[in-house]
Structure 1
Amino acid sequence: MGQPHATAATEYDVVVLGAGPVGENVAERTRAAGLSTAVVESELVGGECSYWACMPSKALLRPVIARADSRRVPGLRQAVQGPLDAAAVLAHRDAYTSHWKDDGQAGWLDSVGARLYRGEGRLDGPKQVKVTSPEGEHHTLKARHAVVVSTGSRAVLPDLPGLPGARAWTSREATSAHAVPGRLAVVGGGVVGTEMATAWQGLGAQVTMLVRGEGLLPRMEPFAGELVADSLREAGAEVRTGVSVTSVARDGDIVTLTLDDGSKVEADEVLFATGRAPRTDGIGLESVGLPDGSWLSVDDSCRVEGSTWLYGVGDVNHRALLTHQGKYQARIAGAAIVARASGTPILETDRWGAHAATADHAAVPQVVFTDPEVAAVGLSAAEAEAMGHRVRAVDQDMASAAGAGLYADGYTGRARLVVDLDREILLGATFVGPSAGEMLQAATIAIAGEVPLERLWHAVPAYPTISEVWLRLLEAYRG
């Protein structure tokens, strides 16, 4: 075999490591401004969201949620009895992931004029990236203005006896599996754990959730996890809280989990949804004085602190591990890179300007696509109090809105506003109930815009909709 072919260094204005939604958005913004941009990707263009997270998980969940909603509608529930067609659901999921082929997204990158380099990219000192292609070719890319790290995050497996040989699922296997397991154990009660428990229980698996804490969705208002746990149990899942897995063993097709109380759980597959780590190991951070595999600490323009040219955008900066927030950061970082490349002054004090990711602090929205849906933005009441705010939590039954009963018989849900009593603005909002995710943008606007409650009083919700709960919440606050 001959020596790998090496090409001469190629110069670009911007080099982006990672071609997920975040990297794609950075490339689009910089290219639209006329900057030459190269994008390096070691897997599939489109990243985690397109192939192993947002898109496949929601394709799995949508039929489950639609059936649950339909069974709550008089005249319809009798028509939707019986199991889901799992094969059809999985085929639909496969279509949404483009069968794990990225031709379309790679073509889109080409259409905006970004140059795609496939292979492993590593920083090699300031403003320089070395790429090794799958064929063994080496490329050296030099950035005139910026290198952007948008390599995302990966699932973390705990250090447990027997786990390496247990063929455990992470979020990737859970969203891409090609058959419904008879029994699925889910370790972890966060977003991935609750969504995948909902999906696979709905598709016919017998799900057992094993949660170390005292409830599900621990980063949200407590009632959110309580309502989701109640619904999972009603659907037939077993939800066990306050337990920890101490060891795992697989014997053929059966995996056995030993718990800290001495009991054992048997399953056909086990999903560990126990946290994530940045995919920054092995990308050469040490060549620019940063620890290998570390989260990247950034300012509000997403520029790595202490650097004039390195940016960390999306999951890698640990500000909000959500695709929509990563794309928001990409818009901010793209604008900042373009401004700095052109010599345009950036006003660091311009809190809501084009170059500051302010919403990452104040108004991060998230929807958990369980049954019922959980939609939250901003701070929980506990978080707000811990930060020193003087707050009042205002609660309402979602069924208090006339539209809720029309949407579904026995509509079950709850809403909370977290009010800053000193400024009389919203710091947080949580809605739990069927279709609650569609309530969230109004709350996000109110929080990001710091809309005074006296002004919100004049934002009249349409009747009869579920959004009428806004009026009930404001009435409860006014007394």
Structure 2
Amino acid sequence: MSEAVEYDVVVLGGGPAGENIVDRTRAAGLSTALVESELVGGECSYWACVPSKALLRPALARADARRVPGLAGAVQGPLDTAAVLAHRNYWTGDWKDQGQIDWIDSIGAHVYRGHGRLYGVRKVAVTSPEGEHHILSARHAVVVATGTRAVIPDLPGIAGARPWTSREATSAQEAPGRLLIVGGSVVAAEMATAWQALGSQVTVLARGSGLLPRMEPFAGELVADALREAGAVVRTGVSVEAVVRDGSTGPVSVVLEGGETLEGDELLMATGRAPRTEDIGLDTVGLPAGRWIDVDDTCRVPGHDWLYAVGDVNHRVLLTHQGKYQARIAGAVIAARAAGTPLDTAPWGAHTPTADTRALPQAVFTDPEAAAVGLTLAEAERAGHRVRAVDYDMSKVSGAGLYADGYTGRARMIVDLDREVLLGVTFVGPGAAEMIHAATIAVAGEVPIQRLWHAVPSFPTISEVWLRLLETYRG
């Protein structure tokens, strides 16, 4: 091992959360080192958010265009799959991270490429791909931001079947003829939408009662209906018991509970995520390896006043934008503690990621899009709130009808009847993803219903649904 190099902050993991820690601690004048074993930019930039949206945007744009009179006839042909994949490759930088490295260099942080492990209190050991060894010492904080990996269930035959995970699904260089997707999650729904539009015959097999189980039930129902209309097969309440691949390049089959067999050319297992903590030295500081890292409301690990965990790895929320949000707050916390200044840890304070539990937004880029913030009806009721769900058919909004012929969508707001503020909002329909930030502001700001009446939606936009929801609530 080389002699220890000292920094104020050492960040283990260079995805969006890790990058945001680097940005905020450098802005506060702290010296910072970033350790990354793969590509700086992480899962989101190369195998998740960015490539998936590059694949999905042409599919959604074509679907929208086909609903516009005068334009529909001009867009009836297939997508140019090669062009879509090339555009996706461009947005991932062809899986090269020099642009991210250049940015980190520009703010004065230092990148160590290689596998990093905690090496006792306030230290990280790094082994580079060339076999070089470094010890990094942190004066103030070590931040774990190693993210998650896809979980592949231990089914008979799965090892030899070489299934896709989200990485292969977003980086494939050609469309499979037949794609089997196991799972009902966001990954399953979005990749079904993308590859069906790019020419694959898609079959979705969800163990639960519907797709998108973390949203209001109608969201998954509308997305499943649209997938079926596009030609995909969507089956719910089914379990896969075994997988078989015919040789090294042959088709892959799944055996369902009851013995039914389905065959495809590729199999995507969209069956959850696990923390990437199995080999990062947690045992050297008395923490269990391979598990989620518990944190307090400043993202600090209890019992370790120098150790923080941000992003997916702390299991608060597995979403890129929330990991970045946590990192901005944790960066401010680290800077404040380093300077010896008091923390503001009240709800909605500068040093507490309150939105993780009260105003969490998410957008799903299916056709129709599904977007939600805050609590669902079921979650609000389980939490003991006295609530009312207010629903509205978005096709009845003038702006929706002008946006697309045959617009299909639904909106719901969850009203806290005791305080008359919104606890949650869900929109499902074309263009819904661009509407969710207004709902996020209403939920995070706890804007009273009485005040929302004075937030006048522009006519004729889809956002006029806000007025209709309020009218429905008043009755």
Superposed pair shares fold, TM > 0.5: yes
CA distance in 1 between counterparts of 2:2 and 2:76 reads 62
**TM-superposed deviation, 1:229:** 0.4
- 1:412 paired to 2:420: no
Aligned to 2:454: 458
Q: Are residue 290 (structure 1) and residue 253 (structure 2) matched? A: no
Among residues 399, 410, 423, which one is paired with 1:427 in the alignment?
Answer: 423
One-letter identity of the residue aligned with 1:30: T
Q: Secondary structure at the match of 2:437?
A: helix
Cα distance in 2, alignment partners of residues 233 and 279 from structure 1: 35
Alignment partners' CA distance in 2, 1:131 and 1:449:
43
**Structure-1 separation of matches of 2:134 and 2:44:** 27
User: Separation in 1 of the partners of 2:136 and 2:93?
Assistant: 30
Return the match for 1:213 from 203, 208, 211: 208
Aligned to 1:273: 270
Tell me the CA shift for residue 401 of structure 1.
1.4
Name the residue aligned to 2:398.
402
Instruction: State the TM-score, normalized to the length of structure 1.
Output: 0.98
Q: Where does 1:170-181 land on structure 2 (aligned, <5 Å)?
A: 170-181=165-176
By how many angstroms is 1:7 displaced?
A: 2.1
**How many angstroms apart in 2 are the aligned matches of 1:379 and 1:474?**
18
Question: Which residue does the alignment assign to 1:325?
Answer: 322
Secondary structure of 2:252's counterpart equals: strand
Q: In the alignment, is the contact (CA less than 8 A) between 1:400 and 1:472 conserved in 2? A: no
Root-mean-square deviation over aligned CA pairs: 0.7
Counterpart contact for 1:243–1:261, Cα < 8 Å: no
Counterpart for residue 390 of structure 1: 386
- Decide whether the 8 Å contact of 2:160 with 2:244 is kept in 1: yes
Does residue 259 in structure 1 map to residue 256 in structure 2?
yes
In the aligned structure 1, how far is the partner of 2:296 from the partner of 2:451? 32
Residue 306 (structure 1) shift: 2.1
Kindly report which structure 2 residues correspond to 1:358-373, keeping only aligned pairs within 5 A, or say none.
Answer: 358-373=354-369
Structure 1 stretch 351-360 or stretch 410-419: which is displaced more? 351-360
For 1:183, the equivalent position in structure 2 comes to: 178
Q: What whole-Å deviation, never above 9, does each CA across 1:444-473 have from its counterpart, x for those lacking one?
A: 000001110011011110000000000000
Do structure 1's residue 335 and structure 2's residue 332 form an aligned pair? yes
- Could you say what secondary structure the match of 2:62 adopts? helix
Number of the residue aligned with 2:377: 381
CA contact (8 A) 2:11 2:22 kept: yes
SS of corresponding position for 1:72: coil
Write the letter of the residue equivalent to 2:304.
S
SS at match of 1:249: strand
2:460 paired with 1:445: no
Task: After superposition, give the CA deviation of every residue in 1:361-412 in whole Å (9 maximum; x if it has no partner).
Answer: 1001000000000000000000000111111000000112110000000000
Q: Distance in 1 between matches of 2:298 and 2:394?
A: 38
Number of aligned residue pairs: 473
Matched-pair contact (CA < 8 Å) for 1:156–1:275: yes
Q: Measure the CA separation in 2 of the matches of 1:442 and 1:400.
A: 20
1:312 aligns with 2:304: no
Task: Give the secondary structure class of the aligned counterpart of 1:299.
Answer: coil
Work out the CA distance in 2 between the residues paired with 1:31 and 1:357: 20
Answer yes or no: is 1:300 the counterpart of 2:297: yes
SS of residue paired to 1:324 = helix
- 2-side partners of 1:88 and 1:396: how far apart? 38
Map 1:54-203 to 2 at 5 A.
54-203=49-198
Note the alpha carbon deviations across 1:287-309, whole angstroms, 9 max, x for none. 11111011111112111122211
The residue type paired with residue 423 of structure 1 is R
Contact 2:368 2:409 in 1 (8 A): yes
The answer to whether the 8 A contact 1:52-1:171 is kept is yes
CA distance in 1 between counterparts of 2:458 and 2:395 reads 15
Deviation string 1:404-446 (CA, Å, 9 cap, x unpaired) is 0000000000000001111110000000000001110111000
8 Å CA contact 2:344, 2:352 repeated in 1: no
Inter-partner Cα distance in structure 1 for 2:327 and 2:261: 45
The runs of 5 or more residues in structure 1 that have no matched partner are 1-5
| Alpha-carbon distance in structure 1 between the residues aligned to 2:14 and 2:104 | 9
Give, in angstroms, the shift of residue 219 of structure 1: 1.0
The CA distance in 2 between the partners of 1:347 and 1:224, in whole Å, is: 37
Q: Is the 8 A contact 2:344 2:350 kept in 1?
A: no
Whether the aligned pair in 2 keeps the contact of 1:302 and 1:311 (CA below 8 Å) is yes
Contact 2:293 2:313 in 1 (8 A): yes
Paired residues of 1:301 and 1:332 also in contact (CA < 8 A): yes
1:353 equivalent to 2:349? Answer yes
- TM (norm. structure 2) is 0.99
SS in 2 for 1:256: strand
Question: Shift of the alpha carbon at 1:242?
Answer: 0.8
Displacement of 1:232 in angstroms is 0.1
Distance 2:233 2:49 in 1: 25
CA distance in structure 2 between the partners assigned to 1:120 and 1:347 by the alignment: 35
Structure 1 position 161, deviation (Å) = 0.2
Does the alignment pair 1:45 with 2:40?
A: yes
Identity score, percent: 73
Amino acid at match of 1:323: T
Shift of 1:353: 1.7
